[in-house]
């Protein structure tokens, strides 16, 4: 099991690295779009050929309160990326391939991590599969910092944040019964990669230097934010809203008590 997961990870990293040798122009995300398209095609093929039980999530989201609530929570979660003033519209020759690039990230990474890896690990139980596949997803992001871009603290921050997000995305997939919902959620979550607002900070002076304590604690904010949301979503999956939420809704007259 571990050997096959390491093998698939090696294939993934190889696909990430090979296009860089022959696609030089990434001004319009061409290199990245090619890479993520290949990743998506390869691992979709592997999943279907092996008939992993995660195929039950390769469908449209189920109808119901739990699914609707999860999609609403996911939408609220990514809304600051749209409305907080941190994003801006780009010219169409950047925006259009940028959207394709973001969808490529969302769909390919979800198919690999929440599809293949989660599907392989599900043999050990759903909860263990969620945790282990999320840790693996976080560790995969070390790849971004291999070579000239290596930075210990950035890698540490990115790995923990990505693992926490992976756990949340896994909860979204399980509760909606659709990997496509988590893929779109993932794409919106990465919106800043294309549409981040450019700010001129040339006159802002030197940037403050983070202390060791700051570097150690920075990514844990994401963990303590994403984990409770993911656990709440999994509670919805087990049987609707928690009792304390229903009592609160009754108290503020959001629900009409049954006679």
pLDDT tens string 88-98:
888 898 899 99
Between CA 20 and CA 82 the distance in angstroms is: 31
Between CA 242 and CA 46 the distance in angstroms is: 38
Q: What is the pLDDT of residue 20?
A: 58
Q: Judge contact between 133 and 191, C-beta under 8 A.
A: no
Residue 89 in tokens: 């519209």
Q: What is the pLDDT of residue 259?
A: 47
The vertex-169 CA angle with 166 and 173, nearest 5°, equals 135
Distance from the first to the final alpha carbon of the chain = 54
Instruction: Give me the DSSP letters along 77-126.
Output: HHTHHHHSSSB----HHHHHHHHHHHHHHHHHHHIIIIIIIHHHHGGG-H
Find residue 194's DSSP bridge partners: none
Threshold 0.85, pTM exceeds: yes
Q: Judge contact between 195 and 185, C-beta under 8 A.
A: no
Between CA 51 and CA 235 the distance in angstroms is: 28
Q: What is the pLDDT of residue 197?
A: 81
Low-confidence ranges of the chain (pLDDT < 50): 258-259
pLDDT tens string 220-230:
898 999 999 99
Look at residue 196 and give its three-state secondary structure.
strand
Determine if residue 64 is left, alpha or beta; phi over 0 gives left, psi from -120 to 50 gives alpha, anything else beta: left
- Lookup result for tokens 């391939």: 97
Q: What is the pLDDT of residue 6?
A: 85
């Amino acid at each position: 099991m571990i050997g096959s997961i390491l093998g698939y990870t090696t294939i993934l990293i190889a696909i990430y690295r090979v296009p860089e040798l022959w696609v030089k122009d990434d001004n319009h995300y061409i290199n990245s779009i090619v890479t993520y398209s290949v990743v998506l095609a390869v691992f979709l093929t592997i999943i279907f050929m092996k008939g992993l039980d995660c195929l039950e999530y390769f469908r449209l989201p189920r109808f119901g309160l739990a699914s609707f609530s999860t999609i609403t929570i996911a939408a609220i979660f990514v809304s600051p990326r749209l409305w907080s003033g941190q994003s801006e519209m780009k010219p169409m020759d950047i925006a259009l391939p940028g959207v394709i690039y973001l969808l490529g990230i969302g769909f390919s990474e979800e198919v690999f991590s929440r599809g293949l890896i989660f599907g392989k690990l599900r043999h050990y139980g759903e909860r263990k599969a969620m945790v282990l596949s999320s840790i693996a997803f976080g560790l995969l992001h070390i790849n971004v910092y291999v070579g000239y871009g290596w930075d210990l603290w950035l890698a540490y921050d990115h790995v923990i944040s990505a693992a926490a997000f992976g756990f949340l995305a896994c909860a979204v997939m399980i509760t909606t019964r659709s990997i496509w919902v988590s893929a779109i959620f993932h794409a919106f979550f990465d919106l800043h990669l294309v549409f981040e607002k450019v700010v001129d900070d040339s006159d802002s002076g030197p940037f403050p230097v983070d202390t060791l304590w700051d570097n150690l604690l920075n990514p844990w904010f994401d963990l303590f934010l994403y984990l409770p949301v993911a656990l709440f979503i999994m509670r919805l999956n087990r049987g609707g809203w928690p009792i304390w939420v229903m009592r609160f809704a009754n108290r503020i007259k959001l629900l009409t008590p049954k006679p």
